Amino acid sequence: MRPEIKSIVGDWLRKAAVDLRTAEVVLAASPPIVEDALFHCQQAAEKAMKALLTAHDTAFRKTHDLDELASACEAIAPELRAVLDPARDLSVFAWHFRYPGEGEMPEPGEARVAIDTARSVYEAIAALLGH
């Protein structure tokens, strides 16, 4: 991998790790900030996927659609399917609950599952990329 690409991939992964940490912190707040935890889970998974695509010189459009990104990632690394499939459901959290009137607030348990899902994506991609 070219040094400049390796640097960008590292930046994507670092940003994903910060999103995971932020999700943990806001979920642990009293009271928990569930909607922000869910948003940062989506962001962590998105950034990890974009790291993989960047590492493999695969163009992607500006999107928060994890289904689209996961499909592109699976074309590169089909072995990630089991980890990426559950993450597809996180897409909605890029916008859902970010504005008033966006539905009933989910329970902290849903955010815990989302954190575990996003962390699995991050760890699998980081390991595949040797980070």
Tell me the pLDDT tens digit for each residue of 11-62.
Answer: 999 999 999 999 999 999 999 999 999 999 999 999 999 999 999 999 999 9
The Cα–Cα gap between 65 and 74 comes to: 14
Residue 49 CB partners (closer than 8 Å, separation 6+)? 66, 69, 70, 72, 73, 84, 87, 121, 125
Give the pLDDT confidence of 112-125 residue by residue, as tens digits: 999 999 999 999 99
What is the pTM for the complete model shown?
0.94
Residue 78 CB: number of other CB atoms within 10 A? 9
If DSSP codes are grouped into helix, strand and coil, which group holds residue 47? helix
* Residue-range domain boundaries for the chain: 3-128
Find, among 69, 19, 21, the residue nearest to 49 by Cα.
69
Quick one: fold of 3-128? Four Helix Bundle (Hemerythrin (Met), subunit A) (1.20.120)
